[in-house]
């Protein structure tokens, strides 16, 4: 079993939809959670990071962590065609290296 599981998609939604992207992890020692966005043929860019359970909001993006279920989510409101990219979750357990999910490909069509 992988330490971080992420559905690769692809996920196709109409413009304006609410998008939900998810990852599960196996090690309860993980405490630091990140979402990266990667456009085609580019390097991943850090989108959001959070340390604790609960929600963190940044504009149209909300990161949610449920440590009891070992489940993290990224919500995108009012999705735009410019949000079309691959979204990678990443998890760290303190002093340990970052572990990336496989990435979910998202396509937002006009």
The binding site for other proteins (CB under 8 A) comprises 31-32, 34, 36, 41-46, 49, 51, 86, 88, 90-98, 100, 102-103, 105
- Least Å distance, CB 92 to other proteins, is 3
Residues in the chain: 110
- Least Å distance, CB 52 to other proteins, is 10
Cis geometry, peptide bond prior to residue 10 (ω within 30 degrees of 0): yes
Q: Which is nearer to other proteins, 77 or 104 (CB)?
A: 104
Q: Which is nearer to other proteins, 14 or 43 (CB)?
A: 43
- Least Å distance, CB 97 to other proteins, is 7
């Amino acid at each position: 079993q992988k330490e971080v599981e992420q559905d690769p998609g692809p996920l196709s939604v109409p413009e304006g939809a609410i998008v939900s992207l998810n990852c599960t992890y196996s090690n309860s020692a993980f405490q630091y959670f990140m979402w990266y966005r990667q456009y085609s043929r580019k390097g991943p860019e850090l989108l959001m990071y959070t340390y604790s359970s609960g929600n963190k909001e940044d504009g149209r993006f909300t990161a949610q962590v449920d440590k009891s279920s070992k489940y993290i989510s990224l919500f995108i409101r009012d999705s735009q065609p410019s949000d079309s990219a691959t979204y990678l979750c990443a998890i760290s357990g303190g002093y340990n290296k970052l572990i990336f999910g496989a990435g979910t490909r998202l396509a937002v069509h006009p």
